[in-house]
Structure 1
Protein backbone atom coordinates (compact mmCIF):
# COMPACT_ATOMS: atom_id res chain seq x y z
CA UNK A 1 0.00 0.00 0.00
CA UNK A 2 1.17 3.55 -0.50
CA UNK A 3 2.70 5.59 2.28
CA UNK A 4 0.00 8.26 2.18
CA UNK A 5 -3.71 8.07 2.92
CA UNK A 6 -4.58 7.64 -0.75
CA UNK A 7 -4.11 4.34 -2.55
CA UNK A 8 -2.03 4.17 -5.70
CA UNK A 9 -3.81 3.34 -8.92
CA UNK A 10 -2.25 -0.14 -8.93
CA UNK A 11 -3.51 -0.74 -5.38
CA UNK A 12 -6.99 0.48 -6.33
CA UNK A 13 -7.06 -1.87 -9.32
CA UNK A 14 -5.89 -4.81 -7.18
CA UNK A 15 -8.50 -4.02 -4.51
CA UNK A 16 -11.23 -3.83 -7.15
CA UNK A 17 -10.12 -7.11 -8.74
CA UNK A 18 -10.12 -8.79 -5.31
CA UNK A 19 -13.62 -7.46 -4.69
CA UNK A 20 -14.84 -8.79 -8.04
CA UNK A 21 -13.34 -12.22 -7.38
CA UNK A 22 -15.10 -12.42 -3.99
CA UNK A 23 -18.37 -11.09 -5.44
CA UNK A 24 -18.28 -13.64 -8.26
CA UNK A 25 -17.55 -16.49 -5.83
CA UNK A 26 -20.45 -15.44 -3.63
CA UNK A 27 -22.79 -15.08 -6.61
CA UNK A 28 -21.86 -18.49 -7.98
CA UNK A 29 -22.10 -20.19 -4.59
CA UNK A 30 -25.54 -18.76 -3.80
CA UNK A 31 -26.80 -19.34 -7.35
CA UNK A 32 -25.73 -23.00 -7.27
CA UNK A 33 -27.27 -23.52 -3.82
CA UNK A 34 -30.56 -21.72 -4.45
CA UNK A 35 -31.57 -21.66 -8.11
CA UNK A 36 -32.83 -24.96 -9.48
CA UNK A 37 -35.73 -24.12 -11.77
CA UNK A 38 -34.73 -22.86 -15.19
CA UNK A 39 -38.23 -22.96 -16.73
CA UNK A 40 -38.94 -19.33 -15.88
CA UNK A 41 -37.09 -16.04 -16.47
CA UNK A 42 -37.84 -14.87 -12.93
CA UNK A 43 -36.80 -16.19 -9.55
CA UNK A 44 -39.39 -18.03 -7.55
CA UNK A 45 -40.05 -16.55 -4.10
CA UNK A 46 -38.25 -19.46 -2.42
CA UNK A 47 -35.20 -18.97 -4.66
CA UNK A 48 -35.18 -15.25 -3.98
CA UNK A 49 -35.37 -15.78 -0.21
CA UNK A 50 -32.68 -18.45 -0.38
CA UNK A 51 -30.27 -16.19 -2.28
CA UNK A 52 -30.85 -13.32 0.16
CA UNK A 53 -30.29 -15.62 3.14
CA UNK A 54 -27.17 -17.04 1.50
CA UNK A 55 -25.72 -13.60 0.89
CA UNK A 56 -26.57 -12.30 4.36
CA UNK A 57 -25.10 -15.40 6.01
CA UNK A 58 -21.89 -15.08 3.98
CA UNK A 59 -21.55 -11.37 4.78
CA UNK A 60 -22.16 -11.95 8.50
CA UNK A 61 -19.62 -14.77 8.51
CA UNK A 62 -17.09 -12.65 6.64
CA UNK A 63 -17.62 -9.75 9.07
CA UNK A 64 -17.19 -12.08 12.06
CA UNK A 65 -14.01 -13.63 10.67
CA UNK A 66 -12.59 -10.16 10.00
CA UNK A 67 -13.51 -9.07 13.52
CA UNK A 68 -11.86 -12.13 15.08
CA UNK A 69 -8.76 -11.66 12.92
CA UNK A 70 -8.53 -8.05 14.12
CA UNK A 71 -8.92 -9.18 17.75
CA UNK A 72 -6.17 -11.78 17.39
CA UNK A 73 -3.93 -9.26 15.63
CA UNK A 74 -4.40 -6.80 18.51
CA UNK A 75 -3.53 -9.51 21.06
CA UNK A 76 -0.46 -10.54 19.05
CA UNK A 77 0.68 -6.91 18.83
CA UNK A 78 0.17 -6.44 22.58
CA UNK A 79 2.13 -9.63 23.29
CA UNK A 80 4.98 -8.53 21.02
CA UNK A 81 5.08 -5.10 22.70
CA UNK A 82 5.10 -6.69 26.17
CA UNK A 83 7.87 -9.06 25.12
CA UNK A 84 9.92 -6.22 23.64
CA UNK A 85 9.46 -4.15 26.81
CA UNK A 86 10.38 -7.12 28.99
CA UNK A 87 13.51 -7.92 27.01
CA UNK A 88 14.42 -4.20 26.98
CA UNK A 89 14.12 -4.01 30.77
CA UNK A 90 16.34 -7.05 31.41
CA UNK A 91 19.18 -5.93 29.13
Structure 2
Protein backbone atom coordinates (compact mmCIF):
# COMPACT_ATOMS: atom_id res chain seq x y z
CA UNK A 1 0.00 0.00 0.00
CA UNK A 2 1.39 3.39 -1.03
CA UNK A 3 1.90 6.07 1.59
CA UNK A 4 -0.10 9.24 1.40
CA UNK A 5 1.73 12.57 0.95
CA UNK A 6 0.84 13.43 4.56
CA UNK A 7 2.45 10.23 5.85
CA UNK A 8 5.55 10.84 3.74
CA UNK A 9 5.78 14.38 5.13
CA UNK A 10 5.39 13.11 8.70
CA UNK A 11 8.07 10.45 8.13
CA UNK A 12 10.44 13.12 6.80
CA UNK A 13 9.65 15.40 9.74
CA UNK A 14 10.39 12.54 12.15
CA UNK A 15 13.72 11.87 10.41
CA UNK A 16 14.60 15.57 10.52
CA UNK A 17 13.73 15.78 14.21
CA UNK A 18 15.80 12.69 14.97
CA UNK A 19 18.75 14.15 13.04
CA UNK A 20 18.43 17.45 14.92
CA UNK A 21 18.26 15.67 18.27
CA UNK A 22 21.21 13.46 17.35
CA UNK A 23 23.25 16.52 16.36
CA UNK A 24 22.33 18.20 19.66
CA UNK A 25 23.43 15.15 21.65
CA UNK A 26 26.72 14.94 19.76
CA UNK A 27 27.41 18.60 20.45
CA UNK A 28 26.44 18.25 24.12
CA UNK A 29 28.65 15.20 24.55
CA UNK A 30 31.57 16.93 22.83
CA UNK A 31 31.15 19.96 25.13
CA UNK A 32 30.89 17.78 28.24
CA UNK A 33 33.97 15.77 27.37
CA UNK A 34 36.02 18.81 26.43
CA UNK A 35 35.17 20.76 29.60
CA UNK A 36 35.58 17.70 31.82
CA UNK A 37 39.01 16.98 30.35
CA UNK A 38 40.11 20.60 30.74
CA UNK A 39 38.72 21.25 34.21
CA UNK A 40 38.58 18.12 36.35
CA UNK A 41 41.97 17.23 37.81
CA UNK A 42 41.33 15.69 41.21
CA UNK A 43 39.66 12.30 41.43
CA UNK A 44 40.36 11.76 45.13
CA UNK A 45 37.02 13.18 46.22
CA UNK A 46 33.40 12.65 45.23
CA UNK A 47 32.72 16.37 45.53
CA UNK A 48 33.30 18.82 42.74
CA UNK A 49 35.80 21.41 43.89
CA UNK A 50 35.00 25.10 43.56
CA UNK A 51 37.75 25.75 41.01
CA UNK A 52 36.60 22.77 38.90
CA UNK A 53 33.03 24.03 38.92
CA UNK A 54 34.13 27.55 38.01
CA UNK A 55 36.33 26.22 35.21
CA UNK A 56 33.51 24.05 33.86
CA UNK A 57 31.04 26.93 33.84
CA UNK A 58 33.54 29.21 32.08
CA UNK A 59 34.32 26.47 29.56
CA UNK A 60 30.66 25.91 28.81
CA UNK A 61 29.94 29.63 28.52
CA UNK A 62 32.85 30.20 26.13
CA UNK A 63 31.86 27.22 24.01
CA UNK A 64 28.24 28.35 23.75
CA UNK A 65 29.24 31.94 22.91
CA UNK A 66 31.66 30.68 20.27
CA UNK A 67 29.00 28.40 18.82
CA UNK A 68 26.50 31.27 18.73
CA UNK A 69 29.02 33.56 17.01
CA UNK A 70 29.89 30.95 14.39
CA UNK A 71 26.17 30.44 13.70
CA UNK A 72 25.67 34.19 13.30
CA UNK A 73 28.59 34.47 10.88
CA UNK A 74 27.31 31.49 8.90
CA UNK A 75 23.90 33.15 8.59
CA UNK A 76 25.54 36.39 7.47
CA UNK A 77 27.52 34.57 4.78
CA UNK A 78 24.40 32.68 3.67
CA UNK A 79 22.48 35.94 3.31
CA UNK A 80 25.28 37.46 1.24
CA UNK A 81 25.49 34.35 -0.93
CA UNK A 82 21.71 34.40 -1.47
CA UNK A 83 21.78 38.10 -2.35
CA UNK A 84 24.63 37.50 -4.82
CA UNK A 85 22.80 34.57 -6.39
CA UNK A 86 19.62 36.65 -6.71
CA UNK A 87 21.58 39.53 -8.26
CA UNK A 88 23.20 37.12 -10.73
CA UNK A 89 19.80 35.71 -11.71
CA UNK A 90 18.42 39.19 -12.24
CA UNK A 91 21.51 40.20 -14.20
CA UNK A 92 21.45 37.18 -16.51
CA UNK A 93 17.65 37.09 -16.70
CA UNK A 94 17.48 33.34 -16.00
Q: TM-score range by the shorter chain?
A: 0.7 to 0.9
Residue 63 of structure 2: aligned partner: 58
Residue 6 of structure 2: aligned partner: none
Q: Matched residues in 1 for 2:13 and 2:88: separation? A: 35
- Matching of residue 24 in structure 1 with residue 24 in structure 2: no
Structure showing greater relative contact order (alpha-carbon pairs closer than 8 Å, 6 or more residues apart): 2
Shift of the alpha carbon at 1:13?
1.4
Give the TM-score taking structure 1 as reference length: 0.87
Residues 16-56 of structure 1: CA deviation (Å, up to 9, x unaligned): 11111110000000000000000111111000000000000
> Following TM superposition, where does structure 1 have runs of at least 4 consecutive aligned residues deviating by more than 4 angstroms?
none
Residue 84 of structure 1: aligned partner: 89
- Matching of residue 72 in structure 1 with residue 62 in structure 2: no
Give the alignment's Cα RMSD to 1 decimal: 1.5
Shift of the alpha carbon at 1:15?
1.1
